[in-house]
Structures are given as C-alpha cells and as structure tokens.
Structure 1
Amino acid sequence: MEPLAARLGTTKGSFYWHFANREALIEATLSLWEQRFTEATISAVADEPDPAARLRMLFTRVSRDAEHNPVAVSVLASAGHELVAPVARRVMERRMAYVVSLFEEVGFPPEVAVQRAILGLTAHIGNNQLAVRLPGLLPLGTDDRLDGYLDAAVELLLHDAPGPTRSATP
C-alpha cells in the first residue's frame, strides 16, 4: 500500500479510510475492471443489429488501445492469485459466452461458434500481450493498419458463415 500511496501523492492512512485492507482494494479494483472492460464494452455494441458488425465493433473497441492499457494483460498474468482467479475466470467466461452468442447469431452451429470464439479471443489476448509486453512489434500502429487487420481477422472468423452475413464490413 505504501508504494501506491506514495505514487498517488497520498498517505497510507487515506487508503484505509476507503478500504479495510489490501484485499478490499484488490476486490474493488477487479470489480471496476470487470464492469468497465466487459459489461460496459458489451453494452456499447449491443444496439448494433447485425451480429457480424457487432463482432467487428467489439474487436475494434477492445483492440484500439491495447498497447496503452496493460490492465487485462496484468489481470490474466495474475490469474493464479486467490483474489484474482474467480474474477478472471468469470470475466473470461462472460466474454466467451458473448462472443459465442455472436457467432451463433451469425448462423454457425454451437460447436463451430465455440471454436470461432476461442480463436477470436485467443488471437485478441495474444495481440494484447504483444502490444503491451513488446510495444511497437506489431505493425498496427496506425488506425488504418489496425482497421485493415481487424477487417481481415473478422473476415477469416466469419469465413463460410451460413446465411446472408458473410462480411463484417458494410
């Protein structure tokens, strides 16, 4: 607590005014992370009626600032911690279920929707790891490059989609 308090220019005592202990601070932080980076993100794309477009919006939103937002990488790296583990699991299960539902809405059968969701989520996690741990390695530094990459990735994930939705681009 002391290094964090010093970094924020406050006292350790002020932390204990708001949080009973270090664990309470961690729990509050994880709850805020879950709300902002999972539930709020899902809500932000929910109004898009086309599931393929919603999928692209989702991946764009979560990829846009990956290099500047190491929180998810840090949380997943700490998933073995007793306080972090249940939240990390709940968040990843929620994200997985949501992405699976998008692929099912596109028309994929459940087992294929799960495979596509796993592929999309693990690619996203890998991209975030590289962006945070080795900044500048991925040649996606401009919006145009990132958009092109996301278009190609979503197109691959939607390849052979049943029905009229074949592309995430309008």
Structure 2
Amino acid sequence: MAEKRRLSKQDWADAALAALADGGLAAVAVEPLAARLGATKGSFYWHFANRDALVQAALERWADRQTEQIIRDVEPITDPLERLRAVFEITLGAGRVSRAELAMLAHADDPLVAPVLARVTARRVDFLEACYVAAGAAQARQRAVLAYTAHIGLIQAQRASGGTLVTDADRPAYLRFLYRAISV
C-alpha cells in the first residue's frame, strides 16, 4: 500500500483558496476540503485552530501570489514604465484574472477579508506610485489610483458581462490602449 503524503499548512491553504475561488467563502468548509485532499479533520486541526485560521491562511496565500510575487517578478525591470506595462500584462493578460480575486471583491465586507483586501490594495497602489515616481511622473499618486481602479474596474466589468466586455481577441489591443492612457 502506498504511503500517504503528509499534508502541510500550505496544502490546506491552497485547497481553501481553490474552494474560495470556486464557491466563495461558504465553500471553505473543513469536511469537504478534507475529503478533497484525502485527509482527515485531524490533519486540519494539526495545522489550524479553526476555520477562520484556515481562511486567514488562504487569504495570505492569495495576497502573496497575487501581489507580492508579481511585485518580486517585475522589480528587476529597470525601466519603471516597462515595469508598469509588465504588471498590467501579468494581472490583466488573457486568462490571467484571478478567480480568487473576484471572490475577494465579492466578500470585501467580510471581517476576515476586508483587512487583507485593504492591505493588498494599499500595497498595490504604493507600488504603482513608486513606478510613476521613478518615471518622473507628475501626480504619481493620482496616476497610481487611476491605474489601479482601471484594473479593478475591468475585473468587475468583465465579471458583470460574463467576460464579453473585452474579449480575449480584443484584450491585447485594450491593454495597449490602457497602458498608453495611464503612462507618463
């Protein structure tokens, strides 16, 4: 008989994040996740005190993947405007909008989600502002807020339109237009 792999805290957080992306916060439930992972509830309680701790771990996993990792990926780009372009390509490129991000936005008033979403928003806007400052842009903060709200607005509008507002075929042209509109 094959030996079962011991699940890590990250395995549970990843499963919770996938459940959140698929079905919202209500989908993050211990028993279904344990069944999906082929684990017991005891494995869950080895890593987490309760469901809220699991949700928090999933939110932190999302924040790292969808914000900090993207920033780490683009920071080596020396030209600040190219860095901005890369951020938009990574975050809004074809098929790259995070379903988990949509779930976060849908649950923005939840007491577990709200502080993480606020922190991520501040981090993202601060990063964009730093890019504009490095590019010598006037009104860097306002440009950063405009760029970020364009990002969030497109995500929400795509969701509301069933993905038809900007089709996959139209997305590259839209991204070029958006980049020109928000550039220095």
How far apart are residue 7 of structure 1 and its match? Answer: 4.5
Q: Answer with 15-24 or 93-102: which moved more.
A: 15-24
Aligned length: 154
Q: How does 1:84-95 map to 2 (within 5 A)?
A: 84-95=113-124
Q: Which sections of structure 2, spanning at least 5 residues, go unmatched?
A: 1-29
Q: Secondary structure at the match of 1:20?
A: coil
TM-score, with normalisation over the residues of structure 2? 0.75
C-alpha deviations, 1:20-50, integer Å up to 9, x for none? 2101101111111111111110010111111
Say which of 44, 53, 56 aligns to 2:85: 56
How far apart are residue 8 of structure 1 and its match? Answer: 4.4
CA distance in structure 1 between the aligned counterparts of 2:157 and 2:34, rounded to whole angstroms = 30
CA distance in structure 2 between the aligned counterparts of 1:138 and 1:73, rounded to whole angstroms = 16
- Residue number in structure 2 paired with 1:114: 141
CA distance in structure 1 between the aligned counterparts of 2:150 and 2:168, rounded to whole angstroms = 17
- Residue number in structure 2 paired with 1:15: 44
Q: 1:133 to 1:16 in 2, by over 3 A?
A: farther
Q: Does 1:151 align with 2:176?
A: yes
CA distance in structure 1 between the aligned counterparts of 2:118 and 2:166, rounded to whole angstroms = 30
Give the letter for the 1:125 counterpart.
I
CA distance in structure 2 between the aligned counterparts of 1:92 and 1:73, rounded to whole angstroms = 14
CA distance in structure 2 between the aligned counterparts of 1:91 and 1:136, rounded to whole angstroms = 24
C-alpha deviations, 1:68-126, integer Å up to 9, x for none? x21111112212111212111111000000001111112123xx212211111111112
Percent of residue pairs bearing the same amino acid type: 42
Q: Return the structure number with greater relative CO, CA threshold 8 A, min gap 6.
A: 1
CA distance in structure 1 between the aligned counterparts of 2:163 and 2:171, rounded to whole angstroms = 13
Q: Which sections of structure 1, spanning at least 5 residues, go unmatched?
A: 162-170
Q: 1:118 to 1:147 in 2, by over 3 A?
A: same
